[in-house]
A = this chain, B = another copy of it.
Amino acid sequence: MFEFSILSKSKKSRARAGIIKTSRGIIKTPVFMPVGTLGSVKSLSHNELTDCSAQIILGNTYHLYLRPGCDVIDKFGGLHKFMNWDHPILTDSGGFQIFSLAKLTKITDDGAFFQSHIDGSKHLITPEKAIEIQLCLDSDIMMCLDNCIPYPSTAKIAKQALDLTTKWAQRCKDKWNSLPKNALFGIVQGGMYKDLRAESAENLKEIDFPGFAIGGLSVGEPKDIMMEIADFTLPKLPYEKPKYIMGVGTPKDLVDLVSLGADMFDCVIPTRNARNGQLFTDYGKINIANAKHKYDTMPIDTNCQCFTCKNFSKAYLRHLYKSRELLSYRLNTIHNVYYFINLTKRMRDAIIKDKFDEFRYKFNKKSEN
């Protein structure tokens, strides 16, 4: 089951609050999806994700395909039971990792030949295979295999990648049609070229999907270009379908992209930065290693309701971080994941109350301080 409906729309921007219904529960949008690369959101257990109000998490098909492998996950009937998470899961197709992490040996119309970054073993992922793996993972939202390109890329390369992405999207759709299960999203590519983004969006609309994603952003391009492409591309996608910006971004990015009409986000920023001692607040990032926190008996944010802020001081968090204690990574991660999820929740509440623009104005004001 997969249904999306829009409940409220901001009057002065494209921001909207919606609801996705899946067989594993509802997802209120805008939504932030913590990244659970290898079957765990790094350092967190399933109950902590629930405590952080996570509604859906992301699993990386490439990583899970290589380790532990579909044969293992199949024994559990999917990723949910394997990792004991009974809420929705979205899986990427592996496209991004094949192009960024693996040693890519060859792309043909058929698929992508690559070598594992772990043991050098050789693999071929076709669009059909990407769907098969995701069916084995039993993800609630699957993604089409796409052809990712670096930034900058020439228009010619971007066009070739777009065309292949379109062909693969059709093959993914055909495979999915023959085995209807859960949802499948198409991914818009086209580099930083508006005409190509428009063409890609048009192609995918014709194939038709339950939802649409914009890929190939946050790959090294300047922030204003990313926002310009998102601003241009989002309205090209069907209004009534969920729109997912892949791999983005900072809290400010999320607020800006929601104002442009995006509904779904995933990013490693909250988890990765947590492990580097960076903690997010409305007033900017805190570097917990900073000596000024040494004697600070106050939490990261006195208004924050996360487990970390309700139980621990900045001085303790600094001590754990400086001592490289394992607990440090978790407590930091809990705060950041809670912050990102709560930020989307606050935006949703503001949209529903038709106060999103006020929220955004105040948010930008605060983060400037």
Contact = CB atoms under 8 A, between A and B. Distances in A.
A141 to B, nearest CB: 22
Interface residues of A, number: 37
Given A68-B294, A76-B297, A295-B72, A315 B82 contact: yes
Contacts of A42: 325-327
B68 A319 contact: yes
Nearest to A324: B38
Nearest to A334: B45
Contact of A319 (B44, B67, B325, B330): B67
Interface string A330-366: 1100000000000000000000000000000000000
A322 interface: yes
Contacts of A45: 307, 311, 327, 330-331
Instruction: Kindly name the residue among A44, A46, A316 whose own CB sees the greatest number of chain B CB atoms within 10 A.
Output: A316
Interface in A96-150: none
A303 interface: no
Contact of A38 (B46, B71, B82, B323): B323
Contacts of A294: 68, 72
A312 B84 contact: yes
Contacts of A67: 319, 322-323
Given A320-B39, A322-B67, A44 B327 contact: yes
A57 to B, nearest CB: 13
A45 B335 CA distance: 14
Contacts of A46: 311
Contacts of A323: 38, 67
Given A45-B330, A326-B43, A38 B295 contact: no
A330 B326 contact: yes
Oligomer: number of copies:
2
A240 B163 CA distance: 83
A39 B316 CA distance: 9
A233 to B, nearest CB: 35
B295 A75 contact: yes
Contacts of A330: 43, 45, 326, 330
Contacts of A43: 326-327, 330
A38 B75 CA distance: 40
A311 B84 contact: yes
Given A40-B326, A45-B327, A326-B330, 15 more contacts: A38-B320, A38-B323, A39-B320, A39-B325, A45-B311, A67-B319, A67-B322, A68-B318, A68-B322, A71-B295, A72-B315, A76-B313, A82-B315, A82-B319, A330-B330
- Pairs A-B, 9 closest by C-beta atoms: A43-B326, A68-B319, A40-B327, A38-B323, A84-B311, A75-B295, A40-B325, A326-B329, A42-B326
